[in-house]
Chains A and B, each alone.
Chain A
Amino acid sequence: MFVTSAYAQETAPAAAEGDTHAGTAVPAAEHETFPPFDAKTFPSQILWLVITFGLFYLFLKRVVMPRLGGIIDVRNDRITQDLDHAARLKGEADAAVAAYEQELAEAKVNANKIGQQANDAAKAQAEGTRKKLEAELEKKLGEAEASIASIKAKAMKEVGTIAEDTTSAIVEALVGGKTDKAEIAAAVKSASR
């Protein structure tokens, strides 16, 4: 491409040599033909192109392309495998989460049940205690009422005696003499009615 003057001088003898070579065949037409259209060079170019391109084709087909295809296939397999692995791990993680949530739900249910039972037991116990206390109180109240009634009866009885005594004393003081006990008792009874 870039031919400096130095190069041109350098290659000048070589070119001249080429000229003498070709000169034996066609002496005059050497510089007349445009090189790409110079049919004299066609057999050589076709032959060497067939040889070189044929070798190149065989080398690529037999060695390079299986290798490149292999590299890319291995990589694609590896990626697919890794993706599968990741999907499997994700599945496992999801399953673990589901199991955890189920256990959590069960635990919650159990906790509620236990709480409920404890609550019920506590209520039942409290109820029992309350009933017992109420019964005791009732009994004590009954006893107290009975004692009050007896005290009242006793007191009432004593009130009668006191009234008879007082009446007999008053009568003795006012009237003098002895008083009949039975009479007084009847009088007090009728007055207190």
Chain B
Amino acid sequence: MLHVLTMLLAALLALPLVAEAQKPIKVGMPMPLSGPPALFGDPATKGAQMFVDEINAKGGVLGRKLELLVRDSKADANEAVRVARELILKENVDFLVGTLTSAEGPAVSVVAKENKIVFIAPIPKTDQLTAADKLHPYVFRVAATTTMEGRSAAEIVARWPVTRVATISFDYAYGQDVTRAFVEHLKKIKPTVEIVDQEWPKLGEQDYNPFINAQMAKKPEAIFSSIWGGFFVTYSKQAKALGVFDAIRYNFIGVGEAATPETTKSMGADYPVGIWGNSYDAFYWGETPAHRDYTARLSKYLKDEYPSSWAIQGYIGMQFLTEAIKKAGSTDSDKVSKALLGLTVDTPVGALTIREKDHQANRGQLYGKTVKDAKYPFAIMKPVTYVDPSKFMD
């Protein structure tokens, strides 16, 4: 009798444990879903959701389902912090994966540190996010950094037959950091280069005419731009009208994903075909079977023949988190944080590793010269090259 009672009691005690095991692992995702940055934020959440749906269909992680809670951060640091706190306090999320701009990323990193919750940033590039004085055990990044991006661009520009180089970037963390990295690296590998002009419009500028006139008055032979997203559409329309691209013979490189299929698609015939640009992903890349398979699944998931190049960042962010949870065998942030150090994951763009010393993945980007291709009604990068940043991350 006593034996049965003990067993009953044990079973009762075990119930909450079972229930605990059935509860989903909650992941909070602050991401801009309004304003021009939503162009990237929105597909990034879709990529993350696709990953979650796929893993849940296979039974989840540690026997538990993943649940993604997406909130609009409005591309604003204060708003991102507010929704991150809300996700932690009200929704009790176990982890944070998200943010887009270089203003939001470091702000949410502070929240993650305070609450001791693992935070994986899939898109913000500012070096400050993982700089030695800002680094803490809970912040990780699977995006490129401004150093990596600026140096990759410098490697390309150094090959051009030009010496008079100008830059145009938004006057805030990302614009300043990536431009500095570009200029420093370019001067190092090609000392004959002269920086003849630097323009700094405010973030979100709508009228670039005065900046373009001022820049062209200095007669540059090449231009480096980090005007990103929908802003690049506005910038390049105005620059094209003022004859910028012809004047510099298309010696123009647009980082900040200026050659992303979304941008070339939305501009159609207005795109300044012939410039160089970069992108996190391109559905037409198809380098490896893994990438082709990912693109096919994404295309089906988004019901889009030419699926977004930004979904991959949400996807990879969730992939790293999931692999770390598996490796740690726990959803405890301290254990997952340790598991992320040195973790290598087979992503659709190849094997990526998060470095132990600065919590930074060696995430490179695709670079190429844009050309018209009869197969598509918009410009593509051809040939498109994945620039592995491993050799110039430090």
Task: Report if A and B associate in a common complex.
Answer: no
A residues near B (Cβ < 8 Å) are none
- Chain B interface residues (CB < 8 Å from chain A): none
